[in-house]
Amino acid sequence: MIQQALFVITLGVAIYFIRKRVLRLWANIKQGKDRVINDRPGERLSNMVLVAFGQKKMFKKFIPAFLHLFIYVGFVVINLEVLEFIIDGVAGTHRIFAPYLGGFYTVLMNIFEFLALAVLLSCVFFLIRRNVLKIKRFHAAELTAWPRLDANIILCTEIVLMLAILNMNAADQVLQQLGADHYTPTGKLVLSSFFVPLYDSLSETALAVIERGAWWFHIIGILAFAVYVTYSKHLHIFLAFPNTYFANLEPKGHMKNMPVVTNEVKLMLGLADANATPPAEPGRFGARDVRDLSWNNLMAAYSCTECGRCTAECPANLTGKKLSPRKIMMDTRDRMEEIGKSLESGGPGAEDGKFLLGDYITKEEINACTSCNACVEACPVMINPLEIILELRRYVAMEESGSPASWNSMFQNIETSFAPWKFPPSDRFKWAQD
């Protein structure tokens, strides 16, 4: 009864903090402008299944993708065992599914143990890549001490949790052999059997303490992990699914026009529909802060895995310019977090005198973008940093008239001569006369 009470309290505390954080994340995302996305549901569902669940785009780099798949499948499947942990904790039982599943339970437990070992080895490999081999994209300027530590914390936590499962099962098997009360026979568990010799000489009391200790360590670790993930880049474990569903389905290179500007151009050219309702005037052309972006832009910022594939493919970044698409997404998320924390504490929120453009992202960064969509193509969860960059550039051009002088000349030429060059349209084909 004491264990049940402690477990219910622990579970309740975890649910409280997870709920509180999820509501804060939702409020932060809702800071963005409303945008209806309900077209092509079949294609969107296909993206979610193939890209988020099937990790289709990860396999452009086969070895890390293969190991990441082990971690992902392990995360999903081993959590089925966590379901048993939770039921046992609430009901005061031990391995509640074993009597009902019989031999199939042994098969399942061996699959769980194989995946636990695969996750453990994969995490060790990724730790070596990050901290020994020092892959360049994991050591860029925007990956300060916290993002690097965050990745290492998650990998080390996964390793420790997998070791806890294997040791718990080993102690459990010895207790089964001793005929201890409440320890239901599970059949032979292959991998944890290698740990059994470590416990053969221990007393039943010591084994029970180790088994229960590992059980508590694992379940508390899982619940703490669930809370921590909501503050971590690993939030993409959950948000990759809605992000891929609501991702932009237009061909790469297609830029979304502003309806009010399109309407003005059509009016000037005499192409506007006289009966059509003109679009509402926007409160602001482009985006200066996160509230000027759409909600799915903000959700994408929380979906960012910080893997750096976008920045590694960015031609501007590769030529030494300051633009990093990963930093664009991280800065957007950090600005949302700053506003959210301010609102929670009764502060001014977005009215704090700061802005995404200027205080987080500089004009030098957004002007370096070539709009090539390499970052969009590279992202394994279909994030589109270019949408944010274009909105920021629109604000600079249309609200501040702050674009570079050469750009302003080009804009003027397009307006007057319908081409980037300063000569009349009637002279456009003179070059071919000879």
Instruction: Give, for all 434 residues of the chain, the pLDDT tens digit.
Output: 777 889 999 999 999 999 999 999 999 999 999 989 999 999 999 999 999 988 899 888 888 888 888 888 887 787 778 888 888 888 888 888 888 888 899 999 999 999 999 999 999 999 999 999 888 889 888 988 889 999 999 999 999 999 999 999 999 999 988 887 778 888 889 999 999 998 988 899 999 999 999 999 989 988 998 999 999 988 998 999 999 999 999 998 888 888 888 887 788 777 777 677 776 766 788 999 999 999 999 999 999 999 999 999 999 999 999 999 999 999 999 999 999 999 999 999 999 999 999 999 999 999 999 999 999 999 999 999 999 999 999 999 989 888 898 888 888 888 888 888 888 888 878 878 87
**What is this structure's pTM?**
0.87
How confident is the model at residue 182, as a pLDDT?
A: 77
Spelled out in words, what is the top-level CATH class assigned to the domain 281-402? Answer: mainly alpha
What are the backbone dihedrals phi and psi of residue 33, each rounded to the nearest 5 degrees, phi first?
A: -70, 150
**Which stretches of 304-430 are DSSP H helices?**
309-313, 315-318, 325-344, 363-367, 374-378, 385-398, 405-417
10 Å Cβ neighbour count for 408? Answer: 13
**Token pair listed for 50:** 């193939």
Query: Residue 357 forms beta bridges with which residues?
Result: 361
How confident is the model at residue 274, as a pLDDT?
A: 65
How confident is the model at residue 191, as a pLDDT?
A: 92
Which residue, 287, 288, 252, is CA-closest to 382?
252
Within 8 A by CB and 6+ apart from 27, the residues are 340, 343
Specify the DSSP class assigned to residue 234: G
SS3 helix, strand, coil % of the chain, rounded to 5? 70, 0, 30
Which residue, 99, 83, 81, 79, is CA-closest to 91?
83
Query: Residue 294 forms beta bridges with which residues?
Result: 33
CB 281 within 8 A of CB 109: no
Domain extent listing, the chain: 2-30+61-245, 281-402, 404-434
At CA 211, angle to CA 207 and CA 215, rounded to 5?
165
